[in-house]
């Protein structure tokens, strides 16, 4: 007995003829007829009352149909369960407090665990990132502080440092370092997708005018052609040297972030293996 025979039996019951069932299953009518004869021989009884243009399940056929549909439903549940398992093990949700550590994590996962897909989101609120971990709406989270609880595993991922990105003719371009308070009241360009860095800079320079750009290409062009200050980190896409701009280190402690990758202890192995890459 084969699953295909059971699917054909179900299709015949739904459509009323062998030919209609064959059309629904994208096969031929003779193939369906042979398959049903084979099933009848295997079960030891006829399943249909046959007429010239119609077939109807007899008592044995109705009994066979009930079992067939139960078996097919169980097969679908089994396939769905394995599909869910595959998605859980191979497609992972990552919530991060900033975008740059996601780039690094993605690069490492792609290299070490080919085929694993990361679905990522950047959230500015640290508490919300941690909530995503504990309510299991995220498989992995990236935070700025280690979580030392017995039900989680945590490892340092990377360090990111914030700089002022200034035109070379700006007076602050000659400085070896600077404090954010010295820049309050200036105008800055900023990428919209910077995670917690956005709140940090707004708090540090409350009187500054911050122009947010959602399109990174537009932001790059404005930084290249204008004399407005910008922010850049040592791992961002604008960290490469620019002939007309310089990077000035920021002295404030908040301008230096250590990121940690965190997962639940009982997470799937595909998740804990990723955290394990960074544990020393």
Token digits of residue 204 = 């540090």
Q: What is the pLDDT of residues 243-257, one digit of tens each?
A: 688 999 999 999 999
**pLDDT level of residue 237 (50, 70, 90 thresholds):** low
Kindly state whether residues 269 and 141 are assigned to the same domain. yes
For residue 88, give the H/E element and its range: helix 59-90
Kindly state whether residues 212 and 224 are assigned to the same domain. yes
End-to-end CA distance of the chain: 55
Kindly state whether residues 128 and 266 are assigned to the same domain. yes
Q: What share of the chain is helix, strand, coil (3-state, %, to 5)?
A: 45, 25, 30
Kindly state whether residues 104 and 23 are assigned to the same domain. no
34: left (phi over 0), alpha (psi -120 to 50) or beta: alpha
pLDDT more than 70, % of the chain: 94
What range does the domain containing 75 cover? 3-88
Give the DSSP per-residue string, 93-125: EEEESSSHHHHHHHHHHHHHSTT-EEEEEE-S-
Cβ-based neighbour number of residue 271 at 10 Å: 22
Kindly state whether residues 135 and 263 are assigned to the same domain. yes
Residue 10: predicted pLDDT: 93
Kindly state whether residues 16 and 78 are assigned to the same domain. yes
**pLDDT level of residue 279 (50, 70, 90 thresholds):** confident
Q: How much is the pTM?
A: 0.62
Kindly state whether residues 147 and 261 are assigned to the same domain. yes
Q: What is the pLDDT of residues 101-158, one digit of tens each?
A: 999 999 999 898 887 889 999 998 889 999 999 999 999 999 999 998 899 999 999 9
Residue 70 maps to which CATH number? 1.10.10.10
With 80 as the cut, is the pLDDT of residue 82 above it? Answer: no
**pLDDT level of residue 25 (50, 70, 90 thresholds):** confident
Kindly state whether residues 27 and 114 are assigned to the same domain. no
77: left (phi over 0), alpha (psi -120 to 50) or beta: alpha
Length of the chain: 280
Under 8 Å between Cβ of 141 and 134: no
Taking residues 49-77, what's their average pLDDT?
A: 89
**pLDDT level of residue 239 (50, 70, 90 thresholds):** very low
In degrees, rounded to 5, the angle at the alpha carbon of residue 45 between the alpha carbons of residues 41 and 49 is 110
The sign of the torsion formed by the CA atoms of 120, 124, 130, 131 equals: negative
The sign of the torsion formed by the CA atoms of 144, 191, 105, 278 equals: negative
């Amino acid at each position: 007995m084969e699953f295909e025979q059971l699917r054909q039996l179900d299709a015949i019951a739904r459509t009323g003829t062998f030919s209609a069932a064959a059309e629904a299953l994208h096969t031929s009518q003779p193939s369906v007829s042979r398959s049903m004869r084979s099933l009848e021989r295997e079960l030891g009884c006829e399943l249909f009352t046959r007429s010239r243009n119609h077939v109807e399940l007899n008592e044995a056929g109705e009994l066979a149909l009930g079992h067939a549909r139960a078996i097919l439903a169980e097969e679908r549940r089994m396939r769905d369960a394995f599909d869910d398992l595959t998605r859980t093990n191979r497609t992972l949700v990552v919530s991060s407090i900033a975008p740059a550590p996601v780039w690094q994590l993605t690069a490492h996962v792609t290299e070490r665990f080919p085929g694993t897909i990361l679905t990522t989101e950047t959230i500015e609120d640290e508490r919300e990132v941690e909530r995503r971990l504990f309510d299991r709406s995220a498989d992995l989270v990236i935070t700025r502080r280690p979580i030392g609880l017995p039900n989680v595993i945590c490892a340092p991922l990377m360090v990111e440092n914030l700089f002022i990105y200034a035109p070379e003719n700006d007076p602050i371009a000659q400085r070896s370092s600077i404090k954010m308070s010295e820049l309050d009241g200036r105008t800055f360009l900023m990428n919209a997708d910077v995670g917690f860095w956005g709140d940090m800079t707004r708090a540090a320079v409350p009187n500054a005018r911050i122009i947010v750009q959602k399109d990174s290409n537009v932001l790059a062009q404005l930084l290249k052609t204008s004399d407005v200050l910008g922010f850049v980190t040592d791992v961002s896409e604008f960290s490469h040297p620019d002939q007309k701009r310089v990077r000035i280190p920021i002295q404030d402690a908040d301008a230096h972030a250590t990121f940690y990758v965190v997962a639940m202890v009982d997470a799937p192995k595909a998740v804990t293996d990723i955290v394990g890459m960074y544990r020393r």
